[in-house]
Structure 1
Amino acid sequence: MDSLTNSEQQILADRIQKRQMKQFMGIFGNLVDSCFTSCVDDFQSKALSGRETGCLSRCVSKWMATNERMGERFAELNAAEMERQQRGGR
C-alpha cells in the first residue's frame, strides 16, 4: 500500500468500502429472507404475532452465532495453513 499515491489509496479504500457494503447487504438480505420465510406465515394482521416475534429472535440469534463460529473456524484453518506454509510444508 505504501507504493500507492494518496489518490490511488483513496480509490482503493473507496472500492474496498463499496465491496464490503455490497457483501454486508447480501448477507443481511439472506438473513432476512431465511428468517422471514421460516417464521412468518400468517398475514391476517400487519403486526407480528408473539410466536413470530419469538421465532424471528431465535432465528437471528442462531444465524448470527452460526456465522460467527464459521468465521472463527475459517480463521483457525487459515492460521494453521499459514503456519504449515511457513514451516515449508505444502
Structure 2
Amino acid sequence: MSWGWRKILQLRPTIQEFIWYKIGDGAATSLWFDRWCDLGPLSNSITSRDIFRAGLNIKSKVKDIIHNGAWIWPPDLLVKYPSLVRVMFPLLKSS
C-alpha cells in the first residue's frame, strides 16, 4: 500500500461525520452503522446489548423499523433512548 493511500485512509475518522447515506428504499442502509439521520450512526449511542434486548439485530436496515409509513421503534428503546422520538422520518423511494 502506498504512503499516499495510507494517509488518505487515516483521514476516515475525521471526514466520516460529513458522509451521509442516500436511503433509497431503506433496504441497503444500516439502521445502526450508517449516518442517515441527525443523530449520526445510532450505534454511537445505542449499545448492541440494548439492540438485542429490543428484539432487533445489528444487521437491521432502516426499512425494518418502518411499517405503513411510520416508525415502529420497540418501546424499550424509546424509553431508554428518548432521542429516537426526534429522528425525522425518511422519505423512502421505491426500488
- TM above 0.5: no
Higher strand share: 2
The TM-score, its normalising length taken from structure 2, stands at: 0.25
Larger radius of gyration: 1
Higher helix share: 1
Higher relative contact order, structure no. (Cα contacts within 8 Å, ≥ 6 residues apart) = 2
The TM-score, its normalising length taken from structure 1, stands at: 0.26
